[in-house]
Amino acid sequence: MTDLKRAYDALSGKLADYNRYFNYYDGDQPVLYTTSRLAEIFKGLDAIFTENWCAVVIDSTKDRVNLVNIKVPEGLEQTWAPLWEGSQLKLESDDVHESALITGESFVIAWPDEQKTPQAYFNDPRLCHVFYESENPRDIEFAAKWWTRVDGLVRMTLYYPDRLEYYITEKKSENVTSEKAFKPFKDPEKNPYGEVPVFHFRTGQRKAKSDLKSVVPVQNGINKLLADMMVAAEYGAFKQRYIISRSEIQGKLKNAPNEIWDLPAGDGMSQQTQAGQFDATPLKNYLDAIDNLSMAVSSITRTPKHYFFSIGSNLSGEALIAMEAPLNKKAQDRIDRFIPGWQDVTRFMLKIEGVEIRAQDVVPVFDEPESVQPFTEAQAIQMLVSAGIPLPAACMRLGWTDSEIDKLKIAIEEQQAAERENLSTSLLESLRRFDSGAE
């Protein structure tokens, strides 16, 4: 099997799944029915009703995976700062993390522009794929990227440690059915950097697994119940009124709001006209079922229940911390898995600039995933200090960073110095007043 065929099979093979995950995240979700008979009945439904919990699942984690900065070894700050700003890596990282959560993987490609300045770009996981060495699954064998041009032709680039190969189709994308449609576009280009410039961000090593994989079936059930409820609200939630008289039915009976059925009286019935109404269809059963499925989404994805329901405003900080602990651990796991990717991107961009460093010398800085409760944290620090633990050590136990603790120590020293100066000034003033005979 040629590398071109491997690339085509991998890219085309994951396209349908990834399109579905992106559509569900964006709220473009079909209403599925359990039988073809129901689908036939509701095929004339003019509106699509969805309750999009897929976006909540992704966004609740993405909001806690926030790349703030990337620190490089001392002396390289001036070299790295324009690369960080020029590539807008903080903004690019949001797209990288979002796509990785939606599909299970995401990609960044780094390469110099026409001015030889290193650039790094987020790449949609539907457009890229990375192949790893069988002997060492951490080493990249080669990578592939394809995309459709404005004229409808499909381009593909294969990235190797020593070269880049370029291919293009003679047919438009809708007519491309195999790798045989691709022909060399131009001569291979030498890769002067000795490594594949495609960087893989993924949420798991074994396989790319979307955070929505277990959510989509439950989301389908929620949408089905919601559609049923809306149809019931349209046709059955309004009380249907009727009149029984000696008149004949004019036309067909129509079940709709503000409609009255005129029913003919049967033989033997009294001549007196009768009026009445049928009970409305209760909607609570639908709402309860939707709530139960929403609760299932919360449990499956470790998303706190208060993201799905209003549970009151009197929860303590400790209660919120306990409820959000599983989500925080999930977000921290994603951060730990994304850090090596950002280390390699930074190292490679500096390599293009002629600076060789190790990936472990790079420190990506992320916001803490936990929700900070200032009052609860202050109480915890106070209790630790009261127990005899020094203030810096107490802050360290609560997760303060080394830089934050260093700033705290400087502030304590400045405060103590100011107190000593004030005490010296007071003593000197007292001595002066005593020597002058003042009371």
Q: How many CB atoms lie within 10 A of CB 291?
A: 14
User: Structure pTM?
Assistant: 0.77
From first to last of its 439 residues, the chain has per-residue pLDDT tens of: 899 999 999 999 999 999 999 999 999 988 777 666 666 656 666 667 788 999 999 999 999 999 999 999 999 999 999 999 999 999 999 999 999 999 999 999 999 998 999 999 999 999 999 999 988 888 999 999 999 999 999 999 999 999 999 999 999 999 999 999 999 989 999 999 999 999 999 998 888 889 999 999 999 999 988 888 887 777 665 666 655 555 565 555 565 555 666 666 666 555 565 666 666 677 888 888 989 999 999 989 988 888 887 655 556 666 777 788 899 999 999 999 999 999 999 999 999 999 999 999 999 999 888 766 565 667 777 788 888 888 888 777 766 777 788 888 888 888 888 888 888 888 887 877 877 776 6
Q: What is the pLDDT of residue 140?
A: 94
The reply to whether 366 and 249 lie within a common domain is no
Structural domain includes residue 379: yes
Pick the last residue of a domain from 274, 299, 324: 299
| Of 105, 66, 89, 65, the residue nearest 346 (C-alpha) | 89
Give the domain range for residue 426: 372-439
Sheet with 163-172, edge to edge strand ranges: 128-132, 140-148, 153-159, 163-172, 182-190
Task: Specify burial of residue 24 (Cβ count, 10 A radius: 0-12, 13-18, 19+).
Answer: buried
CA terminus-to-terminus distance, the chain: 102
For 394, which DSSP code?
H
Amino acid identity at 184: P
> Do residues 274 and 349 both lie within one domain?
no
CA distances, 159 to each of 166, 195, 205 (Å): 9, 9, 21
Residue 211: half-sphere exposure toward Cβ, Cα within 13 Å: 32
Q: How far apart are CA 26 and CA 13, in angstroms?
A: 22
Query: Is 328 within a domain?
Result: yes
Q: How far apart are CA 242 and CA 232, in angstroms?
A: 19
| Pair 262, 240: CB distance under 8 Å | no
**Using an 8 Å Cβ cutoff, are 14 and 126 in contact?**
yes
- Clarify whether residues 331 and 411 are in a common domain: no
Are residues 283 and 360 located together in one domain of the fold?
no
Report pLDDT for 204: 86
The contacts of residue 356 (CB under 8 Å, 6+ apart) are 350
| Co-location of 343 and 436 in the same domain | no
In a domain, 80, yes or no: yes
Degrees (nearest 5) of the Cα angle 73, 79, 80? Answer: 65
The residues with which 148 forms a beta bridge, in sequence order, are 154
Same domain, 12 and 80: yes
> Tokens 């190790």 map to which residue?
358
CB 246 within 8 A of CB 226: no
Domain count across the chain? 3
Domain assignment present for residue 71? The answer is yes
Looking at 235, 264, 299, the residue that finishes a domain is 299
The structure tokens listed for 387 are: 């127990």
**155 and 21, same domain (yes or no):** yes
Q: Distance (Å, rounded) from C-alpha 254 to C-alpha 274?
A: 19
16 and 162 together in one domain:
yes
Residues β-bridged to residue 109: 121, 198
Residue 346's nearest CA partner among 331, 333, 356, 332 is: 356
Please report whether residue 42 resides in a domain.
Answer: no
Q: Of the candidates 271, 299, 327, which is a domain's last residue? A: 299
Sign of the torsion formed by the C-alpha atoms of 420, 423, 428 and 429: positive
| Residue 170 belongs to a domain | yes
